[in-house]
């Protein structure tokens, strides 16, 4: 009787329990690999559960494969071109790569999977890491990571914007070196064609206005058309991303403090008290650069009288002299053999190179 009780209980449970068995065609990859579709952004073939777009049956692989023999699908052998599989669908990138001189080395070495997830990601475009603040890029270019830790280093602020490095670089390929989007100052003008507000409330000048046709333009800016003559593009220990030291308006002169200027200019321009060739800013042989910068105890820097990018006046002379929060007027006129200047610092002063001009004493 006891066994009849057990049998009746078992049958009652079996009949009342809704057992369902998956049909063969209902068993899909996501039955096991559900994690690949649980992302904010899913690769379209994965979303359609078309895994065979990228994977092939185990039986078609050569011997020596590492994947278990009993698994239905494995990644195919891509040969010596790791991006080959992706280009079967993303064919436009193939034509783009073949038409460009330079391809991102990560693509050549790792294919698309160096930066992208093949199945899904919580980051747009299936990226492994966000491009904000260059996080994806520094995962390989880790020499740039010092920007994040060294407080002495000033970063180019565009790195912190949404696209990060992609504001200036193409992540895939380019005809330009270092995968730049545009050449020289054209790239800089993508942003600096208008005034830019800084975090401390200042407004950087529109560089487009600074290189207008009616202005005298500093030769590195005009002839080379490349801001990188004076500026570093990513980060610098100097203010304004400068390559080397450029002293303040009122600063004791030394070649080191104005090393940026002497990257191109000969230091004799300032250091020789008397000269007939080191500078054209002289009264006879009296070097007026030396007089203003070294002989005079007020310690004026190059930026006191000169603009760095362009000016309405010859030889990049400013139309004002900076003093604290003030801009004091300055009027310069170029003459055949010299020039004249009137500023808030002094009255009319004239200089002539061939025959030194005798200026009245005092201001």
Q: How confident is the model at residue 245 (pLDDT cuts 50, 70, 90)?
A: very high
Mean pLDDT (whole number) for 12-39: 60
* Residue 88 tokens, joined: 């079967």
Mean pLDDT (whole number) for 54-81: 59
pLDDT of residue 65: 52
Q: What is the rounded distance in angstroms from the CA atom of residue 182 to the CA atom of residue 225?
A: 12
Lowest mean pLDDT among 32-36, 115-119, 295-299, 334-338: 295-299
Mean pLDDT (whole number) for 331-355: 94
pLDDT of residue 16: 47
Residue 7: pLDDT above 50?
Answer: no
Q: What is the rounded distance in angstroms from the CA atom of residue 13 to the CA atom of residue 5?
A: 12
* Residue 172 tokens, joined: 């895939």
Q: What is the rounded distance in angstroms from the CA atom of residue 167 to the CA atom of residue 145?
A: 18
Percent of the chain with pLDDT over 70: 82
pLDDT of residue 271: 93
Q: How confident is the model at residue 249 (pLDDT cuts 50, 70, 90)?
A: confident
Q: Which residue has the higher pLDDT, 67 or 272?
A: 272
Mean pLDDT taken over the chain: 82
Measured at the alpha carbon of residue 131, what is the angle toward residues 127 and 134, in degrees to the nearest 5?
135
- How far from 144 is each of 43, 148, 159, 191, 234, CA to CA, in Å? 31, 8, 11, 22, 9
Residue 1: pLDDT above 90?
Answer: no
Given a contact cutoff of 8 angstroms between Cβ atoms, the answer to whether 119 and 50 are in contact is no
Residue 278: pLDDT above 70?
Answer: yes
Mean pLDDT (whole number) for 68-91: 70
Mean pLDDT (whole number) for 306-310: 92
Rg (CA), the chain: 34
Mean pLDDT (whole number) for 289-313: 86
Residue 289: pLDDT above 60?
Answer: yes
pLDDT of residue 322: 86
Q: What is the pTM of this model?
A: 0.79
Place of tokens 């604290």: 324
Q: Which bin fits 133, alpha (ψ -120 to 50), beta or left (φ > 0)?
A: left
Q: What is the rounded distance in angstroms from the CA atom of residue 1 to the CA atom of residue 204?
A: 97
For the chain, domain boundaries: 33-181, 186-243, 244-363
Mean pLDDT (whole number) for 121-128: 93
169 closest CA partner among 92, 96, 104, 80? 104
Percent of the chain with pLDDT over 90: 38
Q: Which residue has the higher pLDDT, 261 or 82?
A: 261
Other beta carbons within 10 angstroms of residue 102's beta carbon come to 16
Q: How confident is the model at residue 15 (pLDDT cuts 50, 70, 90)?
A: very low
* Residue 211 burial (10 A CB sphere; 0-12, 13-18, 19+): middle
Lowest mean pLDDT among 11-20, 37-46, 327-336: 11-20
- Which of the given ranges, 26-35, 72-81, 353-362, has the highest pLDDT on average? 353-362
Q: Which residue has the higher pLDDT, 245 or 60?
A: 245
**Burial 183-199, CB ≥16 within 10 A → b, else e:** ebbebbbeebeeeeeee
pLDDT of residue 69: 54
Other beta carbons within 10 angstroms of residue 146's beta carbon come to 12
Q: What is the rounded distance in angstroms from the CA atom of residue 147 to the CA atom of residue 159?
A: 10
Residue 68: pLDDT above 70?
Answer: no
């Amino acid at each position: 009787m006891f066994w009849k009780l057990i049998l009746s209980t078992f049958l009652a449970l079996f009949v009342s329990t809704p057992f369902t068995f998956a049909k063969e065609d209902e068993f899909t990859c996501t039955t096991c690999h559900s994690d690949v579709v649980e992302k904010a952004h899913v690769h379209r073939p994965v979303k359609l559960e078309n895994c065979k777009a990228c994977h092939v049956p185990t039986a078609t692989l050569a011997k020596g494969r590492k994947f278990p023999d009993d698994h239905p699908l494995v990644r195919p052998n891509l040969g010596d071109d790791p991006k080959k599989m992706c280009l079967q669908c993303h064919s436009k990138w193939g034509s783009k790569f073949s038409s460009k001189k330079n391809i991102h080395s990560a693509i050549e070495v790792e294919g698309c999977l160096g930066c992208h997830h093949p199945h899904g990601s919580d980051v747009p475009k299936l990226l492994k890491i966000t491009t904000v603040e260059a996080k994806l890029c520094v995962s390989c270019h880790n020499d740039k990571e010092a920007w994040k830790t060294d407080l002495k280093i000033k970063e180019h602020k565009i790195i912190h914007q949404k696209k990060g490095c992609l504001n200036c670089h193409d992540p895939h390929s380019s005809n330009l070196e270092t995968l730049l989007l545009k050449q020289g100052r054209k790239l800089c003008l993508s942003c600096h064609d208008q005034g830019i507000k800084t975090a401390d409330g200042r407004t950087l000048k529109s560089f487009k206005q600074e290189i207008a046709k009616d202005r005298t333009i500093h030769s590195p800016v005009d002839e080379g058309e490349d801001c990188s003559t004076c500026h570093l593009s990513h980060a610098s220990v100097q203010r304004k991303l400068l390559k080397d030291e450029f002293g303040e308006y009122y600063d004791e002169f030394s070649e080191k403090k104005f090393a940026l200027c002497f990257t191109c200019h000969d230091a004799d321009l300032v250091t020789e008290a008397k000269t007939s060739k080191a500078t054209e800013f002289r009264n006879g042989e009296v070097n007026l650069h030396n007089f203003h910068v070294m002989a005079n105890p007020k310690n004026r820097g190059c930026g006191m009288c000169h603009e760095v990018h362009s000016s309405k006046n010859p030889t990049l002379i400013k139309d004002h002299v900076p003093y604290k929060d003030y801009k004091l007027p300055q009027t310069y006129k170029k003459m055949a053999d010299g020039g004249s200047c009137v500023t808030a610092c002094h009255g009319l002063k004239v200089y002539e190179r061939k025959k030194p001009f005798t200026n009245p004493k005092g201001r």
